Amino acid sequence: MPVMEPDLDSTTLRTWAEMVDEGPFSSLCWGERIAFDNPDSLTLLGALAAWTDRVELVTTVIVPQLHDPVLCAKALATGDLISDGRLTVGLGVGGRHEDYRAVGADPKTQTIRGMAERVEIMRRVWAGEALSDSVLPVGPPPVQRGGPRLLVGTIGEKTLRSAAAWADGLAGTTLDLDVGKQNELFDVARQAWAQQGKPAPHLATSFWFALGPAESAREQVRAHLLRYMNWIPADYVEAMAPTTGWSGDEDQLAAVLREFAAVGTDEVHLIPTSSDVDQLRRVAEVARDFT
C-alpha cells in the first residue's frame, strides 16, 4: 500500500486494495509511522479487511512499544476476525525516537526485550487468559487459534535470533538488493528456528521500487526517500538514493525477483514510491509469472 505517499484519499487506498486483492499477489502490506501523515495502521487494517476477500494482510511493521499491548492485541484480533483469519502481524522495535516521543512511550523500551514482553502479553490476550480481575478476558478471540502469524521486522542477526522464540518468520528489508547478504540473514533465521525446534521460518524481504525509464524511475525513488527519510539529514539521503531500492523495467524486476526466489525467499514485499495505480498494474503483470 502507498501509505507513505502524500495526498492520499479513501478512493486511492481502496483502489489499491481491491486491485491487489484481484491480482496475482499473495499479500497486501503496509507500514507504521506516528510522526508522519500516513494513515493509522490499526484503523487501516479494518478498512483493508473489509475491502478485500483473498489476500493475506501483513503489517510491516507495527511497533508494539508505541501501543498499549492489550488494546493492540484487541485491535489485531478484531482485524483477524473481520478478515476471516487473513492477518499476519509484522512487529519491530522501530528506528525513530520521534515516534516514541509523539505517543509518550519510553525510548528505553526500544529494545528486543521490550518488544518480546509486549508480544507475550498479546499472546496471552489471544489465548483468552484473564489479565486482571475482570469477569471476562479481553476479546474478541482471533479466528486464527492462538492469534495471527507473527513476523519479526529486522535486519539484525541478534534481534532475529532472539525473536525465534516467539516469531513465525522474518519480514526483512534490503536497501541495496544484495541477494547474497539477504540469504546470510535467512540462514541465521533457519538455524535459529531449528535450534528452537520450530518449523522452518517464513522468509520475506522488501524493497522500494519504481517502474519506468531509468532516469525518471530513479528520480521517483529519490523523491520518495527524501520525503520518507525526513529524520535523516538530506545530504545523507542524497548519498544513499542512487543505490537504495530498485528502479527499472518489467524484465529487470522479474530478473531480480528470480534471484530472490533462488535463495529460498518465500515472499517479496514491494514498497511503492508512488500512489499512481499504473505502477501497481505494471507490477501485477510481472507477478503473474510467479504464481
Q: Is residue 237 one of the residues assigned to a domain?
A: no
Number of independent structural domains in the chain: 1
Q: Are the C-beta atoms of 20 and 290 separated by less than 8 Å?
A: no
Q: What is the pLDDT along the chain (291 residues), one digit of tens a residue?
A: 999 999 999 999 999 999 999 989 999 999 999 999 999 999 999 999 999 999 999 999 999 999 999 999 999 999 999 999 999 999 999 989 999 999 999 999 999 999 999 999 999 999 999 888 877 889 999 999 999 999 999 999 999 999 999 999 999 999 999 999 999 999 999 999 999 999 999 999 999 999 999 999 999 999 999 999 999 999 999 999 999 999 999 999 999 999 999 999 999 999 999 999 999 999 999 999 887
| 61 located within any domain | yes
pTM: 0.95
Residue 239 lies inside a defined structural domain of this protein = no
d(CA 112, CA 89): 16
pLDDT digits (tens, 9 = 90+) for 113-133: 999 999 999 999 999 998 888
Which residue is listed with cell 529519490?
A: 222
What are the backbone angles phi and psi of residue 158, rounded to the nearest 5°? -60, -45
48's grid cell: 483493508
Query: Residue 134 sits in which domain range?
Result: 10-211+248-290
| pLDDT value at residue 114 | 95
Q: Is residue 51 part of a domain?
A: yes
Residue 235 lies in a domain: no
Residue 27, beta-bridge partner list: 56
Q: What pLDDT sits at residue 102?
A: 95
Domain-embedded: residue 216: no
Residue 26 covered by a domain? yes
CATH code, domain carrying 117 = 3.20.20.30
Q: What is the mean pLDDT of the chain?
A: 96
Would you say residue 72 lies in a domain? yes
Copy the grid coordinates of residue 50. Answer: 473489509
